[in-house]
Amino acid sequence: MPADPLHILIAALVCWLNFVTIDILFKLPERGGVSGAEEIGRHIEKGGGALHGGYMMGNIVSSPDASAGTLLASCGVYAAGIPGGLLAALLVYIGNRICHDPGYAGTTGCITATLIVYGFTLIGFSAADFIIGMVIAILTIQGISHVHASRLLSTLWRWREG
Amino acid sequence: MNSTEIALAVCGIIALYAAFRVMLEKDTMKKLPFLNVISFAISGSIVLLVPHPLAIVAAAAYFVGSTLESNAIASTFAGGPRNE
């Protein structure tokens, strides 16, 4: 089946919404989970970004969060269907504990992403669309402009707070 | 090219782009988010190249390992462990 750019674009949007929603619900922008994540947040703020968005980006770097969960769930569904996605959730859970992350954002994101990706495969999408979609989604947050991404995340965090 | 090959090509291009950003960024702490993008692209590529259930374990092991390294680098620059 030839890759459909529209499918990749929709998959990227769905992945983005899944991981940003879950990370913000689990309060990742509130503070750095480990001292390294806080330091990344402060450096991003010093470079003109927003502190809470920076904390969230630091947390994404420092431990597998919902974005990693979404990627590994897509990989799991691609290789082995729903059981693959659940295996990925278990691995993310272990990964969180290895990285001293007490939260459940990664595991939750992985389970919701497994269901979402499996649902989309039933209507003609390929799980590969979601793997590439998640790589594009993380690129928009971590890989283009830290200043703008952190400001956007801080704005979303203020909505969650207020 | 089929959909897997296109997905692999896009992953490769994004990983290369992120590698250039890592090289161009002066601030070590701000290199780490770009490094994170590389980890995502490579974990995705592992499973796209080897569509086998055990490839999930390989991708997760690679991803968690690279995350732990970033965590360690960042925490060291922050002045060592606080409560972790």
DSSP labels, A35-104? HHHHHHHHHHHHTT--HHHHHHHHHHHHS--HHHHHHHHHHHHHHHHHHHHHHHHHHHHHHHHHTT----
**What pLDDT band is residue A25 in, cutting at 50, 70 and 90?**
very high
Mean pLDDT of all residues in chain B? 90
Calculate how close chain B gets to A161, using CA atoms only, in Å.
25
pLDDT at A120 (0 to 100): 95
By residue range, what is the domain housing residue A122?
5-161
For residue A8 the two structure tokens come to 């990749």
Q: Is the pLDDT of residue B84 over 70?
A: no
Half-sphere exposure of residue A33, counting CA atoms within 13 Å on the CB side?
25
Q: A70 and chain B: CB distance < 8 Å anywhere? A: no
**C-alpha torsion sign, points A143, B82, A98, A30:** negative
Q: Is the pLDDT of residue A3 over 90?
A: no
pLDDT tens, position by position, B7-41: 899 999 999 999 999 999 999 899 999 999 999 99
Nearest to B71 among A62, A76, A79 (CB): A62
Mapped to the 3 state alphabet, what secondary structure does A89-136 carry? Answer: HHHHHHHHHHCCCCCCHHHHHHHHHHHHHHHHHHCCCCHHHHHHHHHH
> How much is the ipTM here?
0.92
Q: B31 and chain A: CB distance < 8 Å anywhere? A: no
Q: Which of residues 115-154 of A touch B (CB under 8 A)?
A: 126, 128-129, 131-132, 134-136, 138-139, 141-143, 146
Nearest to B63 among A8, A72, A126 (CB): A72
**Number of domains making up chain A:** 1
DSSP state of B52: S
pLDDT at A54 (0 to 100): 94
Nearest to A132 among B44, B51, B76 (CB): B44
Question: Comparing C-alpha atoms, which of A10, A23, A5, A2 is closest to residue A117?
Answer: A10
Q: Is the pLDDT of residue A102 over 90?
A: no
Number of Cβ pairs < 8 A linking chain A and chain B = 185
Q: Is the pLDDT of residue A2 over 80?
A: no
